[in-house]
Structure 1
Amino acid sequence: MPEILVVDDERSILESLRDILEDEGYSVRCVESGEEALRLVEESPPDLVLLDIWLPGLDGMKVLERLRQEHPTLPVVMISGHGTIELAVRAVKLGAFDFLEKPLSYDRVIVTVEKALRMRALSEENLRLRSRLREPGLTGESPAIREVRELIARVAPTEATVLIQGESGVGKEVAARMIHNLSRRAQGPFVEVNCAAIPENLIESELFGHEKGAFTGATRSRRGKFDQAHRGTLFLDEVGDMSLSAQAKVLRVIQEKRFERVGGDRTIEVDVRIIAATNKDLRAEMEAGRFREDLYFRLNVVPIVIPPLRERPEDIPLLVEEFLDELSRHSGLGRKVISPEVLEVLKRYPWPGNVRELKNLIERLVIISPGEEITLNDLPREFLDYAERARGGGEIPEWLRVADFKTAREMFEREFLRRKLEEYGGNISRMAQAIGLRRSYLHRKLKALGLSRE
């Protein structure tokens, strides 16, 4: 039921408009000042505002300017008992949808309201369609990624809660948006919350909103993410980083479909579909006491696991072409191509940052490569060993595949010393002399690496 906010300092006008609009099936809120109107719009935006020009304190024109700046898609119809053509023109230039003169005509009010709401619906639908056209999908033709897309297509039309699992950068948010766009809630909002990026003491305010004065710094009431996602989808990204107290409240909202804002006592009912995502093992988190078991089973109705990029190297050429096309449209640097040798290197690289890391690399290469073709010489230093393999340099040793230096060094030292032990038949003295180490130090090193028995 569309909600209309009526702002007028004449009680008779407020009562008259309330009667007219409620008879037509609209939900109506009435206030008598511009300041109160701005507060209500900030707290819970309506679908349409009927705004009198002549108000005590903050007049209607100033209120209109504020609304256009802060809520550009909210239609505003101006009302005046002393209207002039100049005033009407000024209001429309400031962004008013229409201008009504007092005394108000019943038919004119209803027709104007219907047009304004229809125009807003069309405008929002246009924005949503544009946004969906720009949004990427899960690119790839590997069996693993095709299976994920098929599962998304099956679960999206339902109301089931979905838990998306996968390493950082694999495309969990992309999958969540695909589910929303293919669902019956596609016309509603898609609201994202990064649970890992919000301080623990603010997560409840972020999710549920707060009332003015609820805590230090709460200078005005604020809607939470659950409220903003009403009739749409709420995406809880990195849900494994949410505090236990916030987990308990999220569980209650999922069960009861209602909540109270921080510092408030008014119950707010919501209709929200939950999609959660995490890069953590939530079962291990439950065993460690950091994640609620009951919330896990509420979220894990339909699990979707997105494989890391290193497990689907056949998708890398498709992703590279997609990123090159995107950059050519937005960078102004032209459409560059990747040499076959570079593609081979990219397919061999382990991609600890997954698709996000690949996208960042392609953007970097497009910017720094001097020619139209990106060659091996353009690759960053950390790719040189993989480039050598692509040139025919043989298998890359395991210690070159790990992400951090300390682990790589330990793996290299152990393999090097193990081979030398074999070469010198276990003779520590000859081995120490050959590789340039003191015998006592070599003994300690072999013991630390678990090679002393060998």
Structure 2
Amino acid sequence: MDVMSRGSILAVDDSTETLELLGEFLQTAGYHVISVTSGPSAFKVLEHSTPDLILLDIMMPGMDGFAVCRQLKRKKRTRDIPIVFISAMSEIDNKVEGFEAGGIDYITKPFQQKEVLARLSAHILNRQIQQRLQKEREYFQALADATFEGVAVHDATHIVEVNRTIVSMFGYRYDELIGKELLDLLAPEYREMASTNILQQDTAFPYMMKGLKEDGQRFLLEIQTKTVQWQGRPLKVTAMRDITLRKELEHENRTLRTTLKDRYKFGEMIGKSPEMQCVYEFLTRAAATDQNVAIYGESGTGKELAARMIHKLSERREQPFVAVNCSAIPDSLFESQFFGHRKGAFTGAEYAISGYFEQAQSGTLFLDEVGELSTLMQAKLLRVLNDKMYTPIGAKTSRIADVRIIAATNRELREQMSAGHIRRDFFHRIHVLTIKLPPLREHKEDIPLLIEHFLEQQTLDVEHSNIPASILERFSAYEWPGNIRELFNELTRYLTTGQMELSDAHPAEHFQFKSLPFLQSGWSLSEAVDAFEKFYITQSLQKNFGKKGKAAVDLQVDRKTLYKKLKKFGDI
């Protein structure tokens, strides 16, 4: 048998005769033997050599075998080398002390060569097997650590091994994860599904769930599981991938494609004006996160439509969107409507009713006219937003509130807060991202697109081109205090009755300006003419919904002349 295949032995004994005897029959058996006569000499050898086993005498001058053993077990380099005591001391107490010092066997002198060879062979073989297993474990651990996926090995419930990715992904220490239940790494609402689909069977495709970090933070995961045989028993290998960033990029890509494909339309929102382009950009950014949003806008500007667009583009799009009119909820019914109640919770509660938080679970809760909530209702709502928990009336246990809040108002919440109508802590909880929808009077160039969109939704046989120019002029001149809702109502009235109820001046009156307040004294005639031209061209463009061709006809100039004027005056 090859010498190196049997292993190496360090023999430590103050008796040279014993060392010669051991060296002779051990080398004959195929072992490589290093002999020293003291503990300090053994330490020097071990500085540059790592034998498979150490044969250690006990009674040696200066430093006995027990002390040598204890010191070797304290050093990282030598702590795993098996130590076999060989001594003429046969008392039980000596053997016990040897094992307590860290020895794995005890051979009594005089010894039988066959017995020594049998014992040493078994110990060295076990050592070599452990070394091979350790190398394999380190190799596979390196492979597992090299992957971007988190890998957890577990039995029916508890984790037995993880890679470094899992450690960094969830924020626990390695030793905290070993023995921990795998389900504890998932958000509570996903544990039942995981228990059925992950722990009980292999997964043919990845499941999307939410992980729960050590600090309570949630994040999106893809999870897939396979059964393997490990150390003679079936275990599960679960791969976990943090897909939070990927999903955000997918959302940004999807929303970007949507906006680039048709910039005059963003979902159900219509308009290609710069004001609306800014709104689309804000909605896109809001949809890529899970932060709370406050939407500002006058009545009729489409605040709920904007909220639905954020939800539709967000990660929660497959979950419910629940709209709540906060102005219609009295203090006495707040808890019942938001948290729900159990059957018999109070007089008249004949049925269990789910509240808005339960209806919107995992989705979006839209709080319209949030500024109408009383400070008492704000305090109750704030507690849920902070704790992510609520308790239905009559229930004994709390429930998780996993919802995204989108609030809308036609009031200035900061002013409401200064006046004491909005709690400061509540304001900062809902006022994370803000979007302001422009009133229609600030983007009148979108009126033709809005009219066209409205007519496409109607069953009436009326085309945009059949609406008289005089009516379109009146629409352009009108200030629309009721915004898009008023525009659609006015269109409905006109198409069904042929009448309108606009209260503003007619276009003819609109352009009969009695003074020119923009003119300044001290201007030259040339400067005054330029100022008037700019003003008059602006009025014509507004009258013709920004269409330069029609404005040129209205001004009785050719397009080339109009374009030169526009270039001269800059953006109008």
484, 496, 504: which one aligns with 1:355: 484
Cα 1:393–1:298 change in 2 (3 A) is: same
Q: Which moved more, 1:256-265 or 1:152-161?
A: 256-265
Q: Distance in 2 between matches of 1:184 and 1:22?
A: 20
Paired letter, 1:342? I
Paired letter, 1:380? E
- Deviation track 1:231-281 (CA, whole Å, cap 9, x = no partner) reads 111111111111222211211111111101123332011211111111111
Name the counterpart of 1:380: 501
Asked whether 1:247 is paired with 2:378, we answer yes
| Structure 1 residue 22 displacement after superposition | 9.9
Asked whether 1:192 is paired with 2:323, we answer yes
Paired letter, 1:140? G
| Structure 1 residue 393 displacement after superposition | 4.2
Paired letter, 1:178? M
Q: Distance in 2 between matches of 1:23 and 1:158?
A: 29
Calculate the aligned-residue CA RMSD, in Å.
Answer: 2.7
389, 411, 422: which one aligns with 2:509: 389
Extract unaligned runs of 5+ from structure 1: 1-20, 27-133, 370-377, 398-454
Q: Distance in 2 between matches of 1:220 and 1:246?
A: 24
- Deviation track 1:54-91 (CA, whole Å, cap 9, x = no partner) reads xxxxxxxxxxxxxxxxxxxxxxxxxxxxxxxxxxxxxx
180, 199, 209: which one aligns with 2:340: 209
Task: Spell out the pairing of 1:76-225 with structure 2 (5 A cutoff).
Answer: 137-225=268-356
Paired letter, 2:470? E
**Structure 1 residue matching 2:322: 3-state secondary structure:** strand
Task: Spell out the pairing of 1:189-338 with structure 2 (5 A cutoff).
Answer: 189-327=320-458, 331-335=459-463, 337-338=466-467
Paired letter, 1:150? E
| Structure 1 residue 292 displacement after superposition | 0.8
Paired letter, 1:386? H
Q: Distance in 2 between matches of 1:190 and 1:235?
A: 7
Q: Distance in 2 between matches of 1:286 and 1:231?
A: 30
- Deviation track 1:146-178 (CA, whole Å, cap 9, x = no partner) reads 101011111202111110011111110010001
| Structure 1 residue 200 displacement after superposition | 3.0
**Structure 1 residue matching 2:318: 3-state secondary structure:** coil
- Deviation track 1:5-33 (CA, whole Å, cap 9, x = no partner) reads xxxxxxxxxxxxxxxx997449xxxxxxx
- Deviation track 1:399-429 (CA, whole Å, cap 9, x = no partner) reads xxxxxxxxxxxxxxxxxxxxxxxxxxxxxxx
Paired letter, 1:144? E
Q: Distance in 2 between matches of 1:176 and 1:151?
A: 11
**Structure 2 residue matching 1:362: 3-state secondary structure:** helix
Q: Distance in 1 between matches of 2:515 and 2:438?
A: 23
8 Å CA contact 1:253–1:259 kept in 2: the answer is yes
**Structure 1 residue matching 2:503: 3-state secondary structure:** helix
Name the counterpart of 1:367: 496
8 Å CA contact 2:455–2:463 kept in 1: the answer is yes
Extract unaligned runs of 5+ from structure 2: 1-192, 199-264, 517-572
Cα 1:216–1:285 change in 2 (3 A) is: farther
**Structure 1 residue matching 2:490: 3-state secondary structure:** helix
| Structure 1 residue 386 displacement after superposition | 2.3
**Structure 1 residue matching 2:269: 3-state secondary structure:** coil
8 Å CA contact 2:493–2:500 kept in 1: the answer is no
The alignment covers a number of residue pairs equal to 258
Q: Which has the higher contact order (CA 8 A, sep 6+)?
A: 1
8 Å CA contact 1:342–1:387 kept in 2: the answer is no
**Structure 2 residue matching 1:159: 3-state secondary structure:** coil
Q: Distance in 2 between matches of 1:381 and 1:388?
A: 14
8 Å CA contact 2:478–2:502 kept in 1: the answer is no
Q: Distance in 2 between matches of 1:395 and 1:203?
A: 55
Task: Spell out the pairing of 1:400-419 with structure 2 (5 A cutoff).
Answer: none
8 Å CA contact 1:195–1:203 kept in 2: the answer is no
Cα 1:396–1:366 change in 2 (3 A) is: farther
Q: Distance in 2 between matches of 1:274 and 1:149?
A: 19
Q: Distance in 1 between matches of 2:361 and 2:320?
A: 7
8 Å CA contact 1:191–1:235 kept in 2: the answer is yes
Taking structure 1 as the reference length, the TM-score comes to: 0.53
Q: Distance in 2 between matches of 1:135 and 1:261?
A: 38
Q: Distance in 2 between matches of 1:335 and 1:202?
A: 47
Paired letter, 2:427? Y
**Structure 1 residue matching 2:367: 3-state secondary structure:** strand
**Structure 2 residue matching 1:276: 3-state secondary structure:** strand
| Structure 1 residue 334 displacement after superposition | 4.3
Matched residues, percent identical? 45
**Structure 2 residue matching 1:382: 3-state secondary structure:** coil
Name the counterpart of 1:58: none
